[in-house]
Structure 1
Amino acid sequence: MESFNEYHIDPEQFTFLKSFQDNWQVIRDEFTRFMKNASDEELKFTYDILGPKSKTIKTKGNAKYSAFGILFQGLFIEEYIQVHQIEYSDYDSNDASEKALALREKYFPNLAKVIEKVNFSDDNLIRNVYFGTFHPGLDIKLHVNYNPHMNRGYLGLIVPEGDVAMKICHEQLYWHEGKFLVLDHSYPHCPHNYTNYDRTVLVVDFFKPDKPREEVMQFEKEQVTQRMQDNPYSLGVFGKSDKAKEEDFIKYGLAHQLEWDKALEA
């Protein structure tokens, strides 16, 4: 039996995740079809506009993490762009929004239907939905994604065999295709991919159902406002508070990452 705790949470208790899990192969097929058939222009637009960017989360070496999604803070991406009037060097907000909608409808109709179904029946519980790919050799430094009202679910879509895992606190946890790994990302964590293949999951952020909705919505609004002021291309997912504290590195036996950090700055 798998054991769970305050940061590694049993996905079975979140029945609304079943709609995603039941459709995991369809969702994976939409992702692989997009990666195979999208034009260079569509790919560039996707990673430039639909991918949440972080200024604080660092990776070791040259290995990359790439992400793009269709739902942010409970809004489909085209609406999120309009609400926040995000300015881009190559597009105005209206143009970016129209292109984002066209791309979502062309490549991800089934994923959108799942999101709409869950959020209709569960009062907009789902906040962010995006694909996250760890490329070979990726090693992300210890960090947090601070929101005490949110859990993050990872639905395994393409998971190679080997050492691709999430270190969180003193545990090392693994993704599995077709299954959810649910974590409280307020705890320090650092994932890696030491295989020779990409690992892709569907990231599903959702409110903790036991929290008062008015309270969590207010917290999210204030947090997203600050994050968008700091970095509008974060899409409200990442912020300055993502940095782990020095005592976290020591507490979780990762003090060597601090030395690596200092060496970079020297």
Structure 2
Amino acid sequence: MTQFNEYHLDPQQFPFLQILQQHWQAIRDEFTTFKHHASEAELQFADAVMGPKSKTVKTKGNAKYSAFGVLFQGLLIENYIHTHHIEYPQYAGQHVPEKALQLRVKYFSKLSEAIESTNLRNKHILRNVYFGTFHPGLDVKLHVNYNPHMNRGYLGLIVPQGDVAMKICHEKLYWYEGEFLVLDHSYPHCPHNYTEYERTVLVVDFFKPDQPRDEVLRMEQEFVEERMRENPYSLGVFGKSDKAPVEDFIKYGLSHQLEWDKALDA
């Protein structure tokens, strides 16, 4: 029987995730249709514009993590780009929010409907929703995601057999297709994919429902303003505060990560 704790949370605590979980196969099909049938220009646009970029979360070697999605800080991607006046030099002269809207409607209508239905019923509790893919050989540096106002759910879409896992504190946790893994990412963690296949999940950040909504909205606004000043292409998801302190390597028995983490910083 699964043992839950302060950082590995029981998905049953969050019934608003059920709409996304019930439609996981349709959401997976939209992802695979996009990856297999979108034009090269559409794939490049999604990678460049529709996904959060981090300057702090690093990977070992050449293996990469890729992400793109449809909701950021409670706004659909086209509205987020427009609201924050994000400029993309490679698309100068083009109406980027309109292109993002067209791509979202063309390929991700079911996902968008599930998000809007969930947020309509639950006071806009979902904040970020995007696809996250671990490419073969990925090994991510130990880090935190300092978002004390949110938890992060992972809905398994494409999960190969083998050693693809999340190390968080003292545990090694696994993703399963059609199921949510819910974590408090303010605890140090370092995921990896030691298989020869890609792993894709739907990343779902949501407000902690037991905290006052006015408080978490204020906190979100402060973090977004700071992160957008640091890096507008983070889409408010990642920031400088995501670096794990050295003490955590020792405290949580993850000191084996320290050497190559130091090498990445060299």
TM-score (norm 1): 0.98
| SS class of match (2:215) | helix
- The offset of 1:116, in angstroms, is 0.4
Q: CA deviation at 1:65?
A: 0.4
Q: Which residue of 2 aligns with 1:82?
A: 82
The residue identity in structure 1 corresponding to 2:248 is D
Partners of 2:142 and 2:200 in 1: CA distance: 20
Instruction: Look up the match of 1:130.
Output: 130
TM-score (norm 2): 0.98
Please name the residue that 1:238 is paired with: 238
Query: 1:152-167 maps to which residues of 2 (within 5 A)?
Result: 152-167=152-167
Matched, 1:205 2:167: no
Structure 1 Cα separation of the partners of residues 253 and 85 of structure 2: 42
Distance 2:122 2:94 in 1: 30
Corresponding residue of 1:149 = 149
Cα pair 1:144 1:243 within 8 Å, conserved: yes
Q: Take 2:93 and 2:218, find their aligned partners in 1: how far apart are those partners? A: 25
Q: Is the contact between residue 87 and residue 93 of structure 1 (CA under 8 Å) also seen in structure 2?
A: no
Residue 120 (structure 1) aligns with: 120
Change (3 A) 1:219 1:264: closer
Cα deviations by residue, 1:110-145 (Å, 9 ceiling, x for unpaired): 000000000001000000000000000000011000
The C-alpha deviation readout for 1:134-158, integer Å capped at 9, x for no partner, is 0000000110001111000000000
Deviation per CA, 1:148-176: give whole Å up to 9, x if none: 11000000000000100000000000000
Alignment of 1:51-66 (within 5 A): 51-66=51-66
> What is the aligned partner in structure 2 of residue 95 from structure 1?
95
Unaligned runs of 5+ in 2: none
Q: Distance in 1 between matches of 2:152 and 2:144?
A: 12
- TM-aligned CA deviation for residue 228 of structure 1: 0.3
Distance 1:184 1:200 in 2: 20
Match of 1:129, SS? strand
Q: CA RMSD in A?
A: 1.1
SS at match of 1:143: coil
C-alpha distance in structure 1 between counterparts of 2:60 and 2:147, whole Å: 25
Counterpart of 1:173?
173
Partner of 2:12: 12
Note if contact 1:138-1:192 (Cα within 8 Å) is conserved in structure 2. yes
Secondary structure of 1:155's partner?
Answer: strand
- Percent identity, aligned pairs only? 71
Q: CA deviation at 1:67?
A: 0.4
CA-to-aligned-CA distance 1:9-37 (integer Å, 9 cap, x gap):
00011111000000000000000000000
Q: Find the counterpart in structure 2 of residue 186 from structure 1.
A: 186
How far the C-alpha of 1:265 sits from its partner, in A, is: 4.7
Q: Is the 8 A contact 1:119 1:125 kept in 2?
A: yes
User: Who is 2:49 aligned against?
Assistant: 49
Deviations 1:185-240 (A, max 9, x none): 01000000001100000000000101000000000000000000000000000000
What secondary structure is seen at the aligned counterpart in 1 of 2:91? coil
Aligned-residue offset at 1:92: 4.6
Show structure 1 runs of 5+ residues with no match: none
Deviation of 1:261 (Å): 3.1
**Post-superposition offset of 1:262:** 3.0
Task: Tell me how far 1:260 sits from its aligned partner.
Answer: 1.8
Tell me which moved more, 91-100 or 204-213.
91-100
Query: Partners in 2 of 1:120 and 1:93 — Cα distance?
Result: 35
Query: Counterpart of 2:192 in structure 1: which amino acid?
Result: H
Whether the aligned pair in 1 keeps the contact of 2:169 and 2:253 (CA below 8 Å) is: no
